Amino acid sequence: MKNFSTVVSRAAAVALLAAAAASPAQAATCAFRPNAPDQHVVVKGDTLWDISGTFLQNPWCWPQVWGMNRDEIRNPHWIYPGQIIYFDRARGRLSLNRPGSEGSNSGDGANLPLTKLSPQLRTESLDRDAIQAIPAGQIEPYLTQPLVVEPGVLARAPRIVAAQEGRVYLGTGDRVYVVGQLGGVRNFQVFRPGGALRDPVTRKVLAHEATYLGSVSLDIEAKPGVDAHAFRVTETKQEIGVGDLLVPLPPPPVRNYMPHAPLQAVDARVMSIHSGVTHAGQSQVVTVNRGSLDGLDVGSVLELYHLGKKVADPARRGIFRNKERIKLPDEQYGSLFIFRVFNKVSYGLIMQVTAPVEIGDVARSPEAATE
């Protein structure tokens, strides 16, 4: 048993609970598990994905059950250890109030308890305690390091052209000289481009893998008549050298997001598996050949499929047997949680799978979400 806490205004709470009762369409596509418990108490270490799976057959259905709009999905209500989620079986909904209580019976949510917070004092404490949507430790490097660099970024990236006292490789505190447009940015990450990420279908290069080397900070911007900016190395993960490229330090990553079906139908392919292996399992990270331009956003859930094979028709004989081949259906075998999105490429964490993930596998919108 686990527990769940949400900090909302009265208006938000009313909207959530009023929309929680599933419509007939939702009932068909976002059904509760037959063995769903009567209540669930969230404890430290829980994830939103696990809690969703406790009640729902499809964890990505959580926003529909709670009636969340797109803004609420992008900025979800925090969930904390200590609260209880109740399954109101009679009304087919989840509630923060025990079924049959005054707040639960109120149709307009007028009796929902209110929690008044000081945004500057309480929020910081609550954010630290909030549970994550998925295990944060498994995706942390992919949130903060430029491991995928798209062609446009690669072409205009500032580059290191010289080092302090002619050094070949640099460490923390060393001076480096950089040419290129900074765009008003002072803090950068240093990377070295690697292999191309090609679309498994079109074979077009969508992005490049990148090795994260460290970070640098601007000391002196180039003045008229000077071509290079002076930077100081502030962190090193690997040796930094002349020719390495810079990318602006990304904003703090979104660390708590709501699992949901994509806003539009997405048909993607697994493009690469981290560490260069050919097969992946649960809790490993893959890239797919779709991004924000294709309708993916942080928290989108895709279903994984092995492509259906083509087999010979056993009813055909002789030379015609192999010409008349039958396409078998794609086999669904797991889920992929999208946690970082670029224009044409996204990172996904493999959730439940019953078979290994392979490069070229299909990752598409949940069928129930598009019916």
Query: Would residue 135 count as lying in a domain?
Result: no
Query: Would residue 289 count as lying in a domain?
Result: yes
Q: 172 with 85, same domain?
A: no
Query: Would residue 153 count as lying in a domain?
Result: yes
Query: Would residue 254 count as lying in a domain?
Result: no
Of 79, 96, 129, which residue is a domain's last?
A: 129
**CATH assignment at residue 310:** 2.40.10.410
Nearest of 348, 202, 336, 217 to residue 274 by alpha carbon: 348
- DSSP string computed for 6-23: ----HHHHHHHHHT-SPP
Length of the chain: 371
Cα–Cα distance for residue pair 87/66, rounded to 1 Å:
12
Q: 152 with 124, same domain?
A: no
| pLDDT tens figures, 302-353 | 999 998 888 877 777 666 556 677 888 889 999 999 999 999 999 999 998 9
Residue 313: its pLDDT value, please?
Answer: 73
Band of residue 16 on the pLDDT scale cut at 50, 70, 90: very low
| pLDDT tens figures, 70-126 | 776 666 566 788 888 888 888 777 777 788 775 543 333 333 333 333 333 334 444
pLDDT at position 53 over 70:
yes
Query: Would residue 327 count as lying in a domain?
Result: yes
Residue 112: its pLDDT value, please?
Answer: 36
Segment 15-42 mean pLDDT:
62
What domain range includes position 198? Answer: 147-248
Band of residue 235 on the pLDDT scale cut at 50, 70, 90: very high
Query: Would residue 198 count as lying in a domain?
Result: yes
pLDDT at position 42 over 70:
yes
CA 21 and chain centroid, separation: 27
CB 351 within 8 Å of CB 335: yes
Q: 236 with 345, same domain?
A: no
| Domains of the chain: total | 3
- DSSP string computed for 106-143: -TT-TT-------TTTHHHHHHHHPPBSS-GGGTHHHH
Pair of tokens at residue 168? 């070949």
Q: 173 with 228, same domain?
A: yes
